[in-house]
Amino acid sequence: MLILTASIIVVLWSDSSGADLADKLDDLVGYTIVAEKTIVGWYDDNEHEEGSFNGCSYERVILFQDNTGLTCAEYGYMYAYRPKAIILAKQSKIGEHAYYDIKMVVGDEIYDMRKIKTVKQT
């Protein structure tokens, strides 16, 4: 796990400004890297696209090569063709119920995400 955590620090460190990197990493304290995936497309209520990542819009579903997906919980724009995504999770408990806060790192951006139950075929 330490190697994976160090790997994400190295990947994010390639960002040109160290102060911005420290601010971004500060928000990830307590998260664990749970997966590395390739983004192959996205869909939302009005449209879909295969092969590219156009950032997040609220409720947009990001599709991965392994036929899984995550739902965006915020807005953030960027463009990349089939980029790698690092998925991080942090568990919280309320009583006996466990909840997970999920983040997705693409390039030098960090997105708030939610799990989805099923991936719609586009």
Q: What is the DSSP string of the chain?
A: -HHHHHHHHHHHHTSS-HHHHHHHHHTTTT-EEEEEEEEEEEE-SS-EEESEE--B-TTPEEEETTS-EEEE-S-B---EES-EEEEEEEEEEETTEEEEEEEEEETTEEEEEEE-S-PPP-
Containing domain of residue 33, as a range? 2-115
The total number of structural domains in the chain stands at 1
Would you say residue 58 lies in a domain? yes
pTM of the model: 0.78
Would you say residue 121 lies in a domain? no
Would you say residue 120 lies in a domain? no
Q: What was the pLDDT predicted at 6?
A: 45
Would you say residue 100 lies in a domain? yes
C-alpha to C-alpha distance for 106 and 86, rounded to whole angstroms = 7
Question: Above 90 in pLDDT, residue 22?
Answer: no
pLDDT in tens, 32-64: 999 999 999 999 988 999 999 999 999 999 999
Would you say residue 87 lies in a domain? yes
Confidence of residue 15 (pLDDT cuts 50, 70, 90): very low
